[in-house]
Chains A and B, each alone.
Chain A
Amino acid sequence: MALARIQLPKDAKRGELVEVRIVIQHPMETGFRRDAGGERVARNAIHSLACRYNGAEVFRATLSTGIAANPYLRFFLRAGESGDLDFWWLDDDEKEGTAKTRLVVA
């Protein structure tokens, strides 16, 4: 189950820089770890993440195994119209995750 927490300021003014923060639940397996039985745990990390704001991509990140489990990302975007922020990400298991929230612009 993809689970994420997105934090935005409660309201933003038009033209203002808005801080967007997201924490995603993900193990970010490096592929170097071994389990209790000594078997190697397969690499599984989120490698691509993107955020669309009102349909237009505003943020994209390439992640790798150097990033800790449950990655936390923070970026700024300039507020325009009120609209949806759509997050999308993809991991090494080809599993997609999505999360959505609404940015309210006063």
Chain B
Amino acid sequence: MNRILLTLVFFMGSALGQPRSGLEFSGAEIRQLQASDAENPGMLWVDRGAGLFAQHCAACHQPGSMKGVATRYPRVVDGKVVNLEAKLRHNGPRLAYESQELLALTAYVAHQSRGLPFSRGISNEEAEKGRREYYRRRGQMNLSCAHCHEASAGKTLGAETLSQGQPNGYPAYRLEWQTLGSLHRRLRACMYGLHAELPAYGSDLLLDLELFLAVRGRGLLLETPAVRR
């Protein structure tokens, strides 16, 4: 039954080009873990982010006033891609990429937009550079993102079901990491699997890819903090 459903998802996905959240490719346990705030471990970071927000941001911003903000990132400002992490680092405390503090703050802000459609106001032209990177073959495996996440989404790779690789749940709690991680960490994990050079956190390549992924998954609802394998 599951397999039929997934095959269906695959064909509908490729035929209609309709974006589907990674949650739809997940098993029942993971869905339950994400659905319940009492069980979702990502909520620990949201709680911690609330404390950091009160400490660093409350001079200008009311707590809980960030609804909808995460739907407007990533975006292009003066020709540069700015994602939510970069925005928070720029306007708030100078936190290191992938530090627990920045993850917590990002999760807290993005969580307030949970259930809203993300990626607004990016033009296809702006995302063109990321689109080229998305379809570029890389690494010793000589595969592009599309080989797994478009041509094979819904099929299995070993014991895993390949998803469309949508970014709408990040920062997300991955069971493989046993912790919360950013979209850039997830993209680096893919690059590692391809035996490709690992781009640095916050590098132009990852930002361009993030921007294209946002356009590609336009209309998906934000799920931060999502739970993924």
Q: Which residues of A contact B (CB under 8 A)?
A: 1, 3-5, 7, 21, 23, 25, 27-28, 68-70, 72
Chain A contact surface mostly: loop
Measured between beta carbons, the chain A residues less than 8 angstroms from B88 are none
Q: Are B178 and A5 in contact (CB under 8 A)?
A: no
Instruction: Report the 4 A-B pairs with minimum CB-CB distance, sorted nearest first.
Output: A69-B178, A7-B38, A70-B41, A25-B44
Q: Which residues of B contact A (CB under 8 A)?
A: 37-41, 43-44, 47-48, 175, 178-179
25 residue pairs of the A-B complex, CB under 8 angstroms, read A1-B48, A3-B44, A3-B47, A3-B48, A5-B38, A5-B43, A7-B38, A21-B38, A21-B39, A23-B39, A23-B41, A23-B43, A23-B44, A27-B178, A27-B179, A68-B175, A68-B178, A69-B41, A69-B178, A69-B179, A70-B41, A70-B44, A70-B178, A70-B179, A72-B41
Measured between beta carbons, the chain A residues less than 8 angstroms from B179 are 27, 69-70
Measured between beta carbons, the chain A residues less than 8 angstroms from B44 are 3-5, 23, 25, 70
Measured between beta carbons, the chain A residues less than 8 angstroms from B37 are 7
Measured between beta carbons, the chain B residues less than 8 angstroms from A5 are 38, 43-44, 47
Residue in B closest to A69 when the chains form the complex, CB atoms: B178
Measured between beta carbons, the chain B residues less than 8 angstroms from A4 are 44
